[in-house]
Amino acid sequence: MHAPRAARRVVVTGLGVVSPAGIGLDAFWKGLQSEPQLRRERTVDDFDVTHWLSGKQARHLDRFTHFAVAAAAMALEDCGGLPEVDPTRAGVQLGTGIGGVGTLETQVGILAARGPGRVSPFTIPMVMPNAGAASVSLRYGLQGPSETLTTACAAGTHSVAAGARMVADGRCDVVLAGGAESSMTPTTVAAFTIMTALSRTGLSRPFDTGRDGFCIAEGAAVLVLEERDAAQARGARIYGEILGAASTCDAHHITAPSPGGAGAAACMRLALADADLQPADVTAVNAHGTSTPLNDAAEAAAVVAVFGAGAVPVSSIKGVTGHGLGAAGALEAASVLLSFQHRELPPTMGTTEVDPELEIDVVLEPREWQPGPTVSNSFGFGGHNGSLVLGPA
């Protein structure tokens, strides 16, 4: 155990979402209640980048950066515009798992077919994983820290946690935090397929007896984080509060979770300690819930170890959204904050028969709920674990 977080309390005043389940908060929430697509690759098909970027700007940025800019713009619009703060005290924390791999694969093809003279001079700034954070900072003149975490599928959660810490510690007054991803190239899909990580059926079924892998997805989510007193003073709407967070590493295997979910359990316990809460205080768990056999079993074991068998409702939105890799944790944090607003836990879509060996209370239908402290989990290749504790306003 360690001392709780710094005294400054951190709240969420704006949300922006680009997801296969919907673009914008209303569409996203509605999408979380909808029947999932039968698609192994979940793309954002109706995304029009020209709502946020000119054609020239868009051509010089990778698709994952398009998503980052769009989600940030929506989040700032949602909170009433960028709060009036010293620009050196306004920052960005944006996670991604792979960055501009789409651009990289395209330019490798151009190099092979047409020679080095035809490779785009914008290749490096398009490919670099920090392009999303840098582009958001440039767009809004944010001169505080602008950083990128690349902890695989935990990156979105880690970035929200890092952004919250910047505000809690007094380094920043406003931080745009979240994650963005668009990495469904022929090579990455082939690689995930050959390692048997992807679903063969095109269904994401978290915690189901028939789960057979995840459905890869793209998207982004950005949260506007502010110090609570300042947000209240300007009359901001508050979705919820970042009560605590933690990060651990399994140090067990480059892709497989530690046996029995020991690393995930340790991470949740540390996050609760950071929030100065006990397991009995938690009212729900937003699971990583990828629909892979080993990871779902490990996470379920970790939840049971921390909270007890069937003691807390558990839901995963990946049945609808697919697995957005470095964007997933930010999308899932946004879903928790919307759950607070709607006073309802979204269903774990795609799941019809919960694996009886898992001993957790999986939410299968929309469930009315009295909002309270909620744990949101993300786990990534490399053994990276991230847990957020979110509380209602």
Q: Which residues are catalytic?
A: 153, 288, 323
Gap between the Cα atoms of 72 and 190, Å rounded: 31
| Coil, strand or helix at 217 | strand
Q: How many CB atoms lie within 10 A of CB 87?
A: 14
Q: How many CB atoms lie within 10 A of CB 82?
A: 18
Place of tokens 């919960």: 354
Gap between the Cα atoms of 250 and 190, Å rounded: 26
Residue 310 near residue 360, CB atoms below 8 Å: yes
Residue 353 near residue 244, CB atoms below 8 Å: no
Gap between the Cα atoms of 336 and 78, Å rounded: 17
Residue 250: partners with Cβ closer than 8 Å, 6 or more residues away: 257, 258, 262, 263, 383, 385
Q: CA separation (Å) from 109 to 98, 113, 181, 287, 371? A: 18, 6, 21, 38, 50
Residue 284 near residue 345, CB atoms below 8 Å: yes
Gap between the Cα atoms of 42 and 333, Å rounded: 19
- From its phi and psi, is residue 310 left (phi > 0), alpha (psi between -120 and 50) or beta? left
Residue 164 C-alpha from the chain's centroid: 14
Residue 153 near residue 325, CB atoms below 8 Å: yes
